[in-house]
Amino acid sequence: MSEESNSSEENKLTRLNKFISNAGVTARRKADELIFTGRVTVNMQTVTEPGTKVNPDKDVVKVDGEKVRPLTEFIYVVLFKPRGYVTTTHDEKGRPTVMDLIGLNTRLYPIGRLDYDTDGVLLLTNDGEFSNMMMHPRHKVFKTYFAKLDKPIEEADMRKLREGIMIDGKPTSRAKVRIIPNTADQNIWISIHEGRNRQVRRMLEELGYMVQRLKRVEYARIGLDSLKPGEWRYMTEEELRDARKLATPKMPVFRKPEEAGEGGKKDKKGGKKKKKKDKKKKIKITDTAVEPSTGSDVLESISKELEDISEKISDTKE
Ligand code: URA
């Protein structure tokens, strides 16, 4: 019954009799009978052909007027959030919300937030456990952003971002950051795994930069693919599996105090003891942003912004 034609939509389509029996209403043959005898409606229309294809996420199937709910209703969506939309289910100021872009019957919730002025990958689901896996800082699931700054970034500031920036009296976790190759030095990839309010903008503001453009290009390495602003797709099985793998709790890394730069062992004279294998033990903060796995596509999609570095996008507050 669905008119959507993209392939992920087609994968979702299922025969009406199968849908009814899978939902636990009755056995397949009995479902056929229900359909033949006109007791089944799809989107308010009586359907008498058991092989009619329905989309469990979009089509409303009723038997004797009772809505049939699939047993497994978890849905995972990737939305290209455009700028000018809020990431809430309802906005008091009446601004458009990301929910306006997704016409599914199921109630979905965004996994984390994107500012009104930030666009890019927004994941949505009704699976609370998955959402938690993606968002909890313990799982260290990275999100990668393209940021265009008002001026070229200094090497020393990139180091600071990698070490952590103090915001709201608490240091941020180490970001991965890198100037986008072959572009101006004010275009960077930055990856973080926390989700504090306006975190990327505020980290950069702390260092004296204005973020003129911010686009999330990946979340758990899930990118936009060919989506255009405002469009969405279902997450693929592979993306879902890989995202779960990424979120598997990491082994804690224990560091000796001297390596962590706190205190450090003292020699008998009270001076700092010299480490023998300095090179091995030294913690190097050389993390650079993992380039988005869809790097070249992303570069293509943001090429206009990369070329037009004089573009000024007002940083309207939500
Ligand atoms: N950091 C920000 O500053 N804004 C976002 O929308 C996401 C991350």
For 150-198, write each residue's pLDDT tens digit: 999 999 999 999 999 999 999 999 999 999 988 888 999 999 999 999 9
| 231 assigned to some structural domain | no
Question: Closest Cα partner for 57 from 96, 101, 13, 25?
Answer: 13
| 141 assigned to some structural domain | no
| 163 assigned to some structural domain | no
Please state, rounded to an integer, the average pLDDT across all residues of the chain: 81
| 290 assigned to some structural domain | no
* Residue whose CB lies within 8 A of the most ligand 1 atoms, among 98, 197, 199, for a mutation test: 199
| 140 assigned to some structural domain | no
Instruction: Report the nearest-CA residue for atom 4 of ligand 1.
Output: 198
| Residue 72 in this model has a pLDDT that exceeds 70 | no
Are the beta carbons of 220 and 236 closer than 8 angstroms?
Answer: no
Name the catalytic one among 115, 117, 119, 157.
Answer: 115
Number of separate domains in the chain: 1
Residues with CB under 6 A from ligand 1: 114-115, 118, 198-201, 214
Distances (CA, A) of 89 to 85, 95, 101, 279, 293: 11, 11, 11, 52, 30
CATH number at residue 21: 3.10.290.10
Q: What confidence tier does 294 reach under pLDDT thresholds 50, 70, 90?
A: low
| Residue 307 in this model has a pLDDT that exceeds 50 | yes
How far is it, in rounded angstroms, from Cα 302 to Cα 215? Answer: 9
Q: If you measure from the C-alpha of residue 249 to the centroid of ligand 1, how many angstroms do you get, rounded to a whole number?
A: 24
Nearest ligand 1 atom to the CA of 203 is 3
Neighbouring residues of 35: CB distance < 8 A, sequence distance ≥ 6: 16, 17, 20, 47, 48, 49, 50
Q: If you measure from the C-alpha of residue 245 to the centroid of ligand 1, how many angstroms do you get, rounded to a whole number?
A: 24
| 76 assigned to some structural domain | no
Q: If you measure from the C-alpha of residue 307 to the centroid of ligand 1, how many angstroms do you get, rounded to a whole number?
A: 23
* Residue whose CB lies within 8 A of the most ligand 1 atoms, among 113, 118, 143, for a mutation test: 118
Q: If you measure from the C-alpha of residue 275 to the centroid of ligand 1, how many angstroms do you get, rounded to a whole number?
A: 40
pLDDT in tens, 123-160: 999 888 899 899 988 899 999 999 999 999 999 999 99
115-121-125-131 Cα dihedral, nearest 10 degrees: -80
Nearest ligand 1 atom to the CA of 112 is 7
Active-site residue, 242 included: no
Nearest ligand 1 atom to the CA of 216 is 7
Nearest ligand 1 atom to the CA of 114 is 6
Q: If you measure from the C-alpha of residue 153 to the centroid of ligand 1, how many angstroms do you get, rounded to a whole number?
A: 18
| Residue 89 in this model has a pLDDT that exceeds 50 | yes
Q: What confidence tier does 87 reach under pLDDT thresholds 50, 70, 90?
A: very high
Two tokens, residue 253: 């890394």
* Residue whose CB lies within 8 A of the most ligand 1 atoms, among 79, 114, 135, for a mutation test: 114
Q: Compute and round to an integer the Cα radius of gyration of the chain.
A: 25
Per-residue confidence (pLDDT) for residue 300, from 0 to 100: 66
Two tokens, residue 95: 């601004």
| 234 assigned to some structural domain | no
Per-residue confidence (pLDDT) for residue 260, from 0 to 100: 46
Q: Say how many Å lie between the first and final Cα of the chain, rounded.
A: 39
Per-residue confidence (pLDDT) for residue 248, from 0 to 100: 76
Q: Range of 9's domain?
A: 3-67
| 216 assigned to some structural domain | no
Are the beta carbons of 184 and 158 closer than 8 angstroms?
Answer: no
